[in-house]
Structure 1
């Protein structure tokens, strides 16, 4: 779609993106930043993440909200036993009425008191200076942001891959990972939160695409750095990739009329060729074999969701 036609499509349809889940306006801010962490059965990892946030040295006052999405382990108990550190408060929010990270994020944001909302996950680690990097950007006028990620592979001798920032893997608009992103309270309320129909994959992508289509600029905050802990090699990584592949089709179903293209056949062919090569030249449970399984999972997920939605996205 040419740029002129794309702008017309965006303007003609902008009102459609105002119909997200309704959330009441938050009370007047009494802290600067609210960190919202969706969590489901994260007892094994949540303490380390919350402590890494509570220990942040920041010029901003901040609260930590763990939105418990129906955990059946001791996630809530773990969180309640964590010392405040530099945080004004650490709260567990009941977000178990409906499954999904986006429901949990919205529930946390609904009771958050900060003028800046920062979202991260329960199983990663934020770096030193992470919070102040977002706060500085916010005070410089940034309303929509993502941070940087160092991908950590626990099963592969702690390998950390090259640092990554905003993602641009679907030839449309960039987006940050939901494990490291921030949005002003004003923008969040204007967008009416995350789309709770995106339950398995694409959840943060939908939000940040919708925001950009409404005219908000997405910025990369390089100093907001996390260690992004990856799924174990093999089947867990394959299952996650299936989810990603399905989400690509769901995103295409929602955004193709705004200019999101199908994946060019040459790129699909290149992906399949790389997958076959990696399978043929890798050892079982190696990083290369895991990459091959991820490619396979994405392609199978796309096929499954294409059949389900009756819309073709290879």
Structure 2
């Protein structure tokens, strides 16, 4: 079979796409999210949006129903009220989907208008079964947001370079339906790491290849407070523990207290004075001055999450499509 790239135009490769978005307490995010979905340039008659409420305590589901009646795009509100997990919610959307390509993003993401066009285009090659788009930062005001943007914390380039096996995050990922029929759905009881698990199951069975689509862009807001930042990095640590138990991934080495004290001391005595001089000369910013302590804070949070996590037995369950 010839897998040479084919030039895509509005009259060529336009498969039916089902966009699945899990939502938990997303009342504040919905108006802007729906605007972004309505602005997609992919032909509207070829896309359905399955927005799955995951037992929200606010007006999310009512707003989804209202939105489905007052829009020019096809919105199909769904709900998952039994299992509190974004992966269980995604499974509800997958089961109801009619598209040959399943695209995923999150309620707090803001897809660019060309997102779907760029994300779906690589599937013109039949050996492509996974496509990961890029995740960029929404403009941030706080120091923590600016630091995360500088580090490109959410970028797919980190997960695509994973030493065990590349994967794409479900904030911006598309999967050929055929692959899900072969390997099954997301693990419904897993609370973190389900995107890596799904991609690895597909790639390890050699069903097809993963492609990066850098122009398929969604934007995401970074964490603005220390509490949110700690929660994010603890979740990363839990994810690593779960993937260790499911796939044998190496655990991240914990950073010891003595190493922390050494690095903080070096920062105080060497880096901070040096960067302060640069800042006075306009060659460094406040973000540069605090990069080391923020990095140590997130490393400790990730280590704590990894140490405390224990994979629930039911997280090994994989349901079929």
The answer to whether the superposition gives a TM-score over 0.5 is: yes
- Rounded to whole Å, the distance in 1 between the matches of 2:266 and 2:33 is 35
Task: Quote how far apart the aligned CAs of 1:182 are.
Answer: 0.4
1:78 to 36, 40, 63: 63
- Hey, what does 1:145 align to over in structure 2? 131
1:115 to 93, 97, 100: 100
2:202 to 211, 221, 224: 211
Task: Quote how far apart the aligned CAs of 1:177 are.
Answer: 1.3
- Rounded to whole Å, the distance in 2 between the matches of 1:38 and 1:278 is 44
Q: Does 1:49 align with 2:49?
A: no
- Hey, what does 1:304 align to over in structure 2? 308
Task: Quote how far apart the aligned CAs of 1:47 are.
Answer: 2.2
Task: Quote how far apart the aligned CAs of 1:237 are.
Answer: 1.1
Q: 1:143 to 1:242 in 2, by over 3 A?
A: same
Length, aligned pairs only: 270
Task: Quote how far apart the aligned CAs of 1:211 are.
Answer: 1.1
Q: Does 1:91 align with 2:76?
A: yes
TM-score relative to the length of structure 1 = 0.76
Contact conserved, 2:105 with 2:172, CA < 8 A, in 1? yes
Q: Which runs of 5+ in 1 are unaligned?
A: 1-30, 310-314
- Rounded to whole Å, the distance in 2 between the matches of 1:143 and 1:48 is 30
TM-score relative to the length of structure 2 = 0.74
- RMSD of aligned C-alpha atoms? 3.2
1:191 to 183, 186, 191: 183
- Rounded to whole Å, the distance in 2 between the matches of 1:279 and 1:132 is 48
- Rounded to whole Å, the distance in 1 between the matches of 2:161 and 2:209 is 18
- Rounded to whole Å, the distance in 1 between the matches of 2:161 and 2:296 is 17
* Deviation digits for residues 199-232 of structure 1 (CA, Å, limit 9, x no counterpart): 1x21211111111111131111112111121222
Contact conserved, 2:131 with 2:210, CA < 8 A, in 1? yes
Contact conserved, 1:146 with 1:180, CA < 8 A, in 2? yes
Q: 1:293 to 1:57 in 2, by over 3 A?
A: same
Computing the radius of gyration over CA atoms, which structure comes out larger, 1 or 2? 2
Contact conserved, 1:171 with 1:261, CA < 8 A, in 2? no
- Secondary structure of the 1:247 match is helix
